[in-house]
Structure 1
Amino acid sequence: MMDYLAATYFFDYETDEVQNVIKEFKTDSLTPKEKAIRLYLKVRDDWWYDPYHISFSKEGYKASRTAGKQNGHCLDKSILLIACLRALRIPARIHLAKVKNHIGVERLIEKFGTNELTPHGMVNIYLDGKWVKASPAFNKALCEKCNVAPLEFNGEQDSMFQEYDNQGGVFMEYLEDYGHFDDVPFDFILNNMKEHYSEITKIYEGQTEIRL
């Protein structure tokens, strides 16, 4: 197995910012599974989901950078969760995919020209001898606003995006699985964005961060 506990440039869990996030979980009274579940909920709900702030620089994808903000998109929140898990000696890695959003897509289509989001970031967590998926992107308040049940995680089963809203309408659809990575694949992420959002990347070429 790769070293899925290592600190890296992106999973910089030795920083004060990340250590401050996990301080309440540094206790022997919680099992690794309990820590993973509570950390998932903390990252899911304490950072508001924001897909409209995009970074084109490596620094923008550091866990410590997200830890110091109040929001983040799926990649930001997944990277932060992985760093926190690794800091608590729970193996974790990033998993990327392409997804299609079917609810509240007007602004997405206006800004991105499509309701397909890529690369979408989620987390693989190693618990009790197996890998399970967790998607901490959509905070509870946003789910309630979109009339979608918040995505829960029990540490035993994959926790993917909700397929349907509370009325049974299609919510999220997975289009393509890019697989998992032992560290943040920055070049892959950048090239993926350039391929799928060519107009945006051309307009903002040379900038390190943009807000759509």
Structure 2
Amino acid sequence: MADPYLSPGRFVDCDAPAVVDYARDAVAGLRDPVEQAVALFTRVRDDIWYDPFVVTEDPAAYKASTVVTSRANWCVPKAVLLTAAARAVGIPARLGFADVRNHLQTPRLRERMGGKDEFVWHGYSEMLLDGRWVKATPAFNKELCARFGVPPIDFDGRSDALLHAFTPDGSVYMTYGRDRGVHADLPLEDMLATFRAVYGPGMLQPADSGVDEFTAPG
């Protein structure tokens, strides 16, 4: 029986040529799986600008082979891409999800989320490295972190790399709540159903053309 954490899925399409090429380019010259995982994490984190305003109901937008072509995206598609890229180079990987309370927001984002500050189904990747599952969230690119005055999340391939609990001045930044488990592929309909229940229809509608700290340059 095929290992589900190495096999292609509907969204984690690790066998797609665009994903394979992307992963191989990121790990070029590296043979150690830990070093490969770090390189893949950094590439996904910084190649794609974090933008929470591009949440959509379109299933095609969540396929790794689509995400790899995007200039800006949000945590779940970025985690899907990292998971697929890891599998493409032979690293067992799966998706993990948890609800997080974000204390670093913008008025524009809070309005889109119906006044809430909890992000349900925050996505990250888990990779099997040196015999243990290690969590890594490639959500926030380093330039965006600089805008908010927080350091980027770094990953060494051995310790979990999750969202910061505090900003440099000691203020609360992110707190983790409900754990929604790990999955071989993206449970899209469950995630979208929760979004509709928690945020209402606004979160899944096309975003306005406003500008805030999350807006990519250029």
Q: Tell me if TM exceeds 0.5.
A: yes
Q: Structure 1 residues 24 and 108, CA, compared in 2 at 3 Å: closer, same or farther?
A: same
Separation of aligned partners in 1, 2:105 and 2:194: 23
For the Cα contact (< 8 Å) 2:98–2:180, is it kept in 1?
yes
Partner of 1:151: 153
Q: When the two structures are aligned, how many residues end up with a matched partner?
A: 206
Give distance in 1, aligned partners of 2:97 and 2:30: 33
* Contact residue 95 and residue 124 of structure 1 kept, 8 A: yes
Q: 1:10 deviation in Å?
A: 0.7
Q: Which moved more, 1:51-60 or 1:37-46?
A: 51-60
Structure 2 counterpart of 1:40, which letter? F
Q: Give yes or no for contact 2:153–2:163 (8 Å, CA) kept in 1.
A: yes
* Paired residues of 2:67 and 2:81 also in contact (CA < 8 A): yes
Measured at CA, do residues 52 and 27 of structure 1 come closer, stay the same or move farther in structure 2, by a change above 3 Å? closer
TM-score (norm 1): 0.91
1:211 paired to 2:217: no
- 1:95-106 superposed matches below 5 A: 95-106=96-107
2:167 corresponds in structure 1 to: 165
In 2, Cα distance between the equivalents of 1:129 and 1:170?
Answer: 33
1:17-36 mapped onto 2 (5 Å cutoff) = 17-25=18-26, 27=28, 29-36=30-37
Instruction: Give the partner amino acid of 1:149.
Output: P
Query: Does the C-alpha gap of structure 1 residues 64 and 162 become closer, same or farther in structure 2, counting only changes over 3 Å?
Result: same
Match for residue 115 of structure 1? 117
CA 1:119 to 1:155, structure 2 compared with 1: closer, same or farther past 3 Å? same
Partners of 2:146 and 2:29 in 1: CA distance = 34
Residue aligning to 1:67? 68
Q: TM-score, normalised by structure 2?
A: 0.88
Cα offset, 1:83, TM superposition: 0.5
Aligned residues of 1:2 and 1:182 also touching (Cα < 8 A): no
Q: Report the CA distance between 1:25 and its aligned residue.
A: 4.2
Change (3 A) 1:131 1:199: same
- Residue in 2 that maps onto 1:48: 49
Aligned-pair distance for 1:100? 1.1
Please give the alpha-carbon distance, in whole angstroms, between the structure 2 residues aligned to 1:161 and 1:130.
Answer: 20
* Of 183, 194, 207, the match for 2:196: 194
Which residue of the partner structure matches residue 207 of structure 1? none
- 2:9 is matched with 8
Partner-residue secondary structure (3-state), 2:94: strand
Identity of aligned residues (%): 35
Return the letter of the residue paired with 1:101: N
Residue 176 (structure 1) aligns with: 178
8 Å Cα contact 1:105-1:115 kept in structure 2: no
Shift of 1:153: 0.6
The residue number in structure 1 matching 2:211 is none
